[in-house]
Structure 1
Amino acid sequence: MSQGVITPLGEKEIPAEYVPIYQAAGKKYNVPWQLIAAIHRVETHFGADLNVSSVGALGHTQFMVLTWIGWGYPGGIG
């Protein structure tokens, strides 16, 4: 199978409303949009499970809060 190809099963699973968002982000950040879709699928099943993880990760792609404000923030590790 070629890299970046979505199988027919995968095409049916990806919510259509997210595809333009994945494609725009992929183009903007120069990553395959399919990779963004895969991360979204693995982390929250396309947003269907937005619970905070046991270690505090949150949101559609389950990032840690310190990812955005920096690990040097008081209370951060590193």
Structure 2
Amino acid sequence: PASLTFQGIACKGGAVLEVEAKTTRPEDVGTFEQALRTESTLISKTETRDLRARDGNTTFTITITFRADALRKAAKSE
């Protein structure tokens, strides 16, 4: 969703990304997570945590776990 602003991204192991973001539309957190799950066959799991609302902004962290073969498939497609 256009309302999301990414604040930070960290690699947590070979197949896990942790993304910190904020939005002015709290419902877009769920929209983003659902889009990750349904639109990418490379992702095996997502988990949203640390949802906090303050001064019209919602901040959150989402952990994205890729399937074990995701990097190999992505490399082959290039």
Measured against the shorter chain, the TM-score band is: under 0.3
Larger radius of gyration: 1
Q: Judging by fraction of residues, say which structure has more helix.
A: 1
Q: Judging by fraction of residues, say which structure has more strand.
A: 2
* TM-score, with length taken from structure 2: 0.26
